[in-house]
Amino acid sequence: MNFQFRNSTSERAILNHLSREGTDMTLATETGMVEHSGVGTDIRSMIDALTETGESLARIAADRSPSGFDKEAGALIDRRLKPAFRLVVEGQRRSMAELEKEEAALYAPRFAEGSEPATRAAQHAWWRGLSMPQRMEAANADPALAAAIVEAGPAMSGLPADVFERLRRDMAAGQLAERIARDAKLRTPPTADDPVGGKPDYQTARANAEKRLDRLDDERDMLNRVPALLANVVTAVALMTGETRQAAFERLSA
């Protein structure tokens, strides 16, 4: 039986190269995935298990018939790789749920104490009567109005989907900046134009808020790439066991 397995690491990815009787594949795992605070440890364990399995199979391949090799591959995968694969599935779901919970809190419209839903509905109705340029000017000038528009939802806003999402993000960044400035007690430093300083430093707070939202966007993109990594692991298992991809998936998921 001709089976080979190689492992290498670069700054950007962990690479696993498999070859069976002339059929080759390379599985790449982003470094950022194994560094993720939620699912990273599970991904590292899965790739370690895949590496251990591949290296073990490469050592015995020359002494095994195809059927004997397939049997040993299945046993090793069941023992080493299957539990790790399932932990990554669970970890991705858990991390995505935690991310969505954090996003829901940050993107929820917030209103001043005593704000009445009827007043916000009236604001929204007035806003709908404006031209599109006037709508955006009014929303950008009044955070409470922007929050009322977001509260009503994209369908009621009358805005294109991408414009509504930009308004929603601006609202979330503004709300978060207010909280950061307050909680961190950020104050402007004295300057030549303002020798006293000491005012709430909303510019720094806004920059910090934007960075936090950007990190959440990057994390969501990374978590959305985990299923593709798992699908590639399924392909690797099919190559090692000689099974179809569906059979390999059922083996890992059972």
For the stretch 23-42, pLDDT in tens is 999 999 999 999 999 999 99
How far apart, in Å, are the Cα atoms of 81 and each of 6, 44, 153? Answer: 17, 12, 45
Chain center to CA of 168:
19
Burial class (CB in 10 A: 0-12, 13-18, 19+), 196: exposed
Residue 225 near residue 4, CB atoms below 8 Å: no
* pLDDT per residue as tens digits for the range 79-99: 999 999 999 999 999 999 999
**Token pair of 214, please?**
């950007």
pLDDT at 197: 72
pLDDT at 192: 66
**pLDDT band of 196, cuts 50, 70, 90:** low
pLDDT at 157: 87
**pLDDT band of 55, cuts 50, 70, 90:** very high
**pLDDT band of 54, cuts 50, 70, 90:** very high
**Percentage of the chain modeled with pLDDT above 90:** 72
Q: Which residue has the higher pLDDT, 5 or 192?
A: 5
pLDDT at 240: 97
pTM: 0.87
